[in-house]
Amino acid sequence: MRHAVITAGSKGLGKMVTEELLKKGCSVTVNFRSDLARINELKEEWKEYGDRIQFVQGDVTKKEDIKYIFTQAMERFGRIDYLINNAGPYIAERKKLVDYTDDEWYEMVEGNLSAVYHFLKLTIPVMRKQKFGRIITYGFHEAEHAPGWVYRSAYGAAKVGLVSLTKTVALEEAEHGITVNMISPGDIVGEMKELNIQEARKMQDPNTPIGRPGSGEDIARVIAFLCDEDSDMITGSVISVAGGVDVVNKFRQVQHQSLNIIE
């Protein structure tokens, strides 16, 4: 039985990825940071998968917590086939680089870039022994082109660095049967993160070229495909799941429109 470690796998996009892999017969170690009430809800919701799932508390910005998550997965299931780096701190408030505190900057870098490094150091040796592994990171639309992202300097810098790390490790580990790819979700927010595609198709979104909002299932389906044994030809790729939305430039366009109105 394949085993997946999914960081922040109890809410939002992570929850949908967890559910998708459980349905495909995998066992899953779900990492969560603090919401115990949510975990109790999921234990009831997913009780049919009780023998194939465990919940491990930990903060991915802390190296010792990452080691604990890894150790718990290995002790319970003895292997790690899929590493889904779903967790990634994000500051919703729009602020320029000079307005960030040191703590905010380091949280963005540690949570979005260094955390992946620490997980890779632990899991890659396991995957090498198995001669199989699927690693997924998360980026943002056009991250591979290192665009400027107004008011998102810390998050953007960490994710752009993660693009290079993803591509580099994909090359380094290909000979061991390990693939490494990045998913770049579109503007999937709020309740849409935990909705399925059929529910999303009932809604209209004039800001998305395909006409509907993105959903958590859109992301989960792509990740499940990349985890398949026969998807080994896909590695070092950055795959956008955005419905055609230019997420980075959306606010810049709104900002320019506002300036034109003022003028």
Reported as a single tens digit per residue, the pLDDT across 16-40 is 999 999 999 999 999 999 999 999 9
Cβ atoms 216, 191 nearer than 8 A: no
* Domains of the chain from N-terminus onward: 3-262 (3.40.50.720)
What pLDDT is attached to residue 18? 98
**Count of other CB atoms within 10 angstroms of residue 20:** 20
Check if the beta carbon of residue 200 is closer than 8 Å to that of residue 186. Answer: no
Give residue 249's pLDDT: 78
Mean pLDDT of all residues in the chain? 94
Q: What is the pLDDT of residues 72-89, one digit of tens each?
A: 999 999 999 999 999 999
* The pLDDT value given to residue 68: 98
pLDDT tens-digit series, residues 130-142:
999 999 999 998 9
**What is the rounded average pLDDT of the residues 146-157?**
94
User: Between residues 37 and 263, which one has the greater pLDDT?
Assistant: 37
In the chain, what is the straight-line distance between the N-terminal and C-terminal CA atoms, in Å? 63
Least-confidence region, from 135-144, 158-167, 243-252? 243-252
At 192 the three-state DSSP class reads helix
pLDDT level of residue 230 (50, 70, 90 thresholds): very high
pLDDT of res. 257: 45
Distance from C-alpha of 123 to C-alpha of 107, rounded to nearest angstrom: 22
What angle separates helix 216-227 from helix 12-23, to the nearest 10 degrees? 50
Tell me the chain's radius of gyration from C-alpha atoms.
Answer: 18
Binned at pLDDT 50, 70 and 90, residue 250 comes out as: low
Q: Please classify residue 198 by burial: count the beta carbons closer than 10 Å to its beta carbon, then call 0-12 exposed, 13-18 middle and 19+ buried.
A: exposed
pTM exceeding the 0.85 threshold for the entire prediction:
yes
- Give the per-residue pLDDT at 251: 55
